[in-house]
Chain A
Amino acid sequence: MITVQHLIKTYNKGTVKAVNDISFEVKDGELFGLIGPDGAGKSSIFRMLTTLLLPDSGIATVNGYDIVNDFQNIRNHIGYMPGRFSLYQDLTIEENLEFFATVFNTSIEENYDLIKDIYVQIEPFKDRRTGKLSGGMKQKLALCCALIHKPDVLFLDEPTTGVDVVSRREFWDMLKKLKNQGLTILVSTPYMDEAGLCDRIALLQNGQILSIDTPAHIVASFGDILYSLSSPKMYKLLVTMRAYDNMNSCFAFGDSLHLTLKDNSKKDELYSYLKKSDFGEIEINQIMPTIEDCFIKLLKEN
């Protein structure tokens, strides 16, 4: 279990508030996501919870241990995969794994069960130097190294940044399996579509939590009617909709626009407004918001 109370971290003599009074709790066995862009404070939170950085103020515990006073106990019970790849590039896959096992007074054999599913995918290349691996393979090895001492809590800082769709899906499948084995997992990501794969999430921006809940509850609390619009002339449609006086928000979302209105009782007026220009065939549907819609709305409100 992780508890965080009023955690604050500033840099540059207090001028940069990286983590600005953040509180949350991660329950045992929970897969909890910190969702936000670069600079939201995700990595600072990770470094404080993994005892690599001291907070300015606030209290946090991991499995009951205080992050300042009991740092040594925490280090023995957690696995940490930093955002930047931090294994030894000159060592092979196997040497890196063995190094991390030895540091924690264990061996690859002892905890092989825990990493087996992941390790078999990279084992054929175990004599290859880590510096020569692809992004997806580095990511798998880093996860193995974070798991080899059988931690209770796993900290994964942006494990899927910069990797392709296929590797991302595989990685989340692995996380789900680890969660089912009872691990508590704190994971961060800038990809909003990954938020839905967590039990609970905190949406972060500028060192503060915008919202914290299950993905389903966050979506349910959107509190506005959301329309999707599409036509063969998408850019023209976007420019036209932005100029519409009853438009509250309008953003491109893949192959459609997502639109909210200031006054939903005037929805019929929207059709007549669109008829003035030639967009070809326009499709308008009322849709459920995504986490990204919620994030955008919260950014606007804050």
Chain B
Amino acid sequence: MEAVISTNKLTKRFGQFIAANELTFDVYKGEIFGFLGANGAGKTTAMRMLCGLSIPSSGAATIAGFDVYKQTEQIKKNIGYMSQKFSLYEDLTVAENIRFYAGIYGLKIPEIKAKTIELLERLGMMNEAKKLVRELPLGWKQKLAFSVSLVHSPKIVFLDEPTGGVDPVTRRQFWDLIYYAADSGVTVFVTTHYMDEAEYCNRVSIMVDGVIEALDSPRNLKRQFEVDSMEDVFYKLARNAKRAEQ
């Protein structure tokens, strides 16, 4: 299996505080990888290093083959990112947002035109192309934000709590998009507080106090901890966390 994320003892210190401590793991092509952890466990710090936004204190990692110390600009070009706080511009229309991001990532004008149509059709949003993003329901914004994060055909997409606050049907439609992307070879790296969503991942890691305490498929984790749900796995691991800090 081809590893698109590969880390070895990746560590980030802030003074005396070790936010992320010797993280070692691989994520494979086309995998849906759930990155879980208690509040303050160090998830955000780890994600920032993997996205080329924060230089590690020690250890090694490559993202899509690029080094997290020296090739951060290449990393940024080869990954997609979407967070709960939308990266979309509310005052631009749906089509303008797509055009803007496609342009930022260096797509040529004919490519942008083709991508815009493809994306609008897949989302069933042809009639909304000229609507301001501000006017869209939350669930549609999230689906659009996800599709826009894939506009430059990245190898990996990072999703930081993508489904907060939406209704249960929209949440599942969002996961349909994730499955579709993974099926076409995109690697999906996702954080969530919904433990049922952890079950949809191929593999899941759980961070506690800066350390990856468990990493396996949901099925194996439930067997290992002798519980019926990922929520109980999480609870067993995180309930003794010392660091409730952010």
* CB-defined contacts of A117 to chain B, threshold 8 Å: none
* CB-defined contacts of B241 to chain A, threshold 8 Å: 166
- What is the minimal beta-carbon distance from B228 to any residue of chain A, in angstroms? 9
Q: Say whether B244 contacts A37, CB under 8 Å.
A: no
| Partner-binding segment picked from B53-61, B73-81, B166-174 | B166-174
Query: Can you list 16 A-B pairs with a CB-CB distance of less than 8 A?
Result: A36-B167, A37-B168, A134-B39, A134-B40, A137-B244, A164-B238, A165-B38, A165-B193, A165-B234, A166-B239, A190-B164, A235-B183, A251-B172, A252-B200, A295-B167, A299-B167
Q: Which residue of A lies closest to B246 (CB)?
A: A134
Nearest first, the 5 A-B pairs at minimum CB distance are A38-B165, A37-B167, A254-B196, A254-B199, A255-B199
Q: Say whether B168 contacts A296, CB under 8 Å.
A: yes
Query: What per-residue 1/0 map shows which CB atoms of A133-162 lie under 8 Å from chain B?
Result: 111110000000000000000000000011
Inter-chain CA distance A251–B241, complex, in Å, is 34
Interface hub of B167, B170, B241 (most chain A Cβ within 10 A):
B167
Inter-chain CA distance A296–B38, complex, in Å, is 28
Is A163 positioned at the interface, with any CB of B under 8 Å from its CB?
Answer: yes
Given A38-B138, A166-B235, A235-B183, check contact A135 B175 (CB 8 Å): no
Contact of B168 among A161, A167, A238, A295 (CB under 8 A): A295
Contact of A135 among B167, B169, B179, B246 (CB under 8 A): B246
Residues of chain B having any CB pair with chain A under 8 Å:
37-40, 137-139, 161, 164-170, 172, 175, 179, 183, 193-196, 199-200, 218-219, 229-231, 234-235, 238-239, 241, 244-246
* CB-defined contacts of B165 to chain A, threshold 8 Å: 37-38, 161, 190
Is A95 positioned at the interface, with any CB of B under 8 Å from its CB?
Answer: no
Q: Say whether A164 contacts B38, CB under 8 Å.
A: yes
